[in-house]
């Protein structure tokens, strides 16, 4: 079993045991992985001033490192996606595909009454001209698709690198590469 421990708060965030995964709500702060039932902060290895997965010998330990990296990968990608999409509530995010389809239909002149209700209600509340609002919705949808495509590609390449890693150091390298790439994507989305 591997424990996921946040050294900054001194809290365990979750644990990995084979296919069984127990995750805490705040996975973005995963900082290190410990073996056994008790955290051993003194045994933590530091790399570039950051705690990393403690290297341990053996196939079982490599498997634990891979499992922990996969949990961490999903957590940091989810957190990056949330930062990219900003402050929007979940219900609004869930409506984005419908809003894009409605905006495209309005632009094409083929909108249904439902399309007009969805976009028209927002335009009425915000005071935005319908043409401006539909243009902004379509542009935002394109930017979102590009960002999500990049995040999906990063997940896939990181998963592949973690799966073929021959030792814990290679798992750590794959996760570090993911963090660098995510920072670059987020900087691009902020511009």
Residue 15 domain-assigned (yes or no): no
Higher pLDDT, 72 or 25: 72
Range of weakest confidence among 29-43, 89-103, 132-146: 29-43
Confidence at 185, pLDDT banded by 50, 70, 90: confident
- Mean pLDDT, the chain, as a whole number? 77
> Quick check: is 134 in a domain?
yes
Question: Domain range for residue 189?
Answer: 58-191
Residue 47 has pLDDT above 70, yes or no: no
Classify residue 162: in a domain, yes or no.
yes
Q: Within a domain: residue 3?
A: no
Task: Judge if pTM exceeds 0.85.
Answer: no
Q: Residue 5 corresponds to which tokens in the numbers above?
A: 């421990």
Domain count, the chain: 1
For the record, the structure tokens of 50 come out as 């950051």
What is the structure's pLDDT at 126? 95
Which residue's structure tokens are 């419908």?
A: 98
Question: Does residue 4 lie within any of the structural domains?
Answer: no
Helices (H), 8-112: 59-85, 90-108
What pLDDT is stored for residue 45 in this prediction? Answer: 46
Q: Per-residue pLDDT averaged across 62-87, rounded? A: 87
Give the pLDDT band (50/70/90) at residue 90.
Answer: confident
Residue-wise pLDDT tens digits, 105-124: 999 999 999 999 999 999 99
Question: What is the C-alpha separation between 16 and 18, in angstroms, rounded?
Answer: 6
What's the confidence (pLDDT) of residue 9? 52
Instruction: Region of 48 please: left (phi>0), alpha (psi -120 to 50) or beta.
Output: left
The per-residue pLDDT for 149 is 92
For 10-44, the pLDDT digits (tens) are: 555 555 454 444 444 433 333 344 333 334 444 44
Res 49 pLDDT > 70: no
- How confident is the model at residue 10, as a pLDDT? 52
Residue with more model confidence, 41 or 175: 175
pLDDT, position 98: 96
Is 10 part of any domain? no
């Amino acid at each position: 079993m591997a424990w996921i421990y946040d050294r900054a708060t001194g809290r365990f965030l979750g644990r990995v045991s084979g296919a069984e995964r127990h995750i805490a709500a705040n996975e973005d702060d995963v900082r290190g992985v410990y073996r056994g039932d008790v955290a051993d902060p003194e045994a933590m290895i530091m790399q570039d001033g950051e705690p990393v997965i403690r290297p341990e010998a053996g196939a079982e330990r490599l498997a634990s490192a891979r499992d922990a990296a996969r949990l961490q990968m999903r957590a940091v990608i989810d957190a990056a996606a949330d930062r990219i999409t900003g402050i929007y509530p979940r219900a609004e995010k869930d409506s984005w595909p419908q809003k894009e389809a409605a905006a495209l239909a309005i632009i094409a002149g083929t909108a249904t009454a439902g399309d007009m209700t969805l976009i028209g209600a927002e335009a009425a509340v915000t005071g935005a001209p319908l043409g401006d609002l539909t243009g902004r919705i379509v542009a935002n949808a394109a930017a979102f698709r590009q960002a999500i495509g990049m995040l999906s590609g990063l997940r896939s390449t990181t998963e592949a690198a973690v799966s073929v890693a021959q030792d814990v150091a290679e798992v750590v390298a794959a996760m570090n590469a993911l963090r660098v790439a995510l920072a670059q994507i987020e900087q691009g989305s902020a511009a």
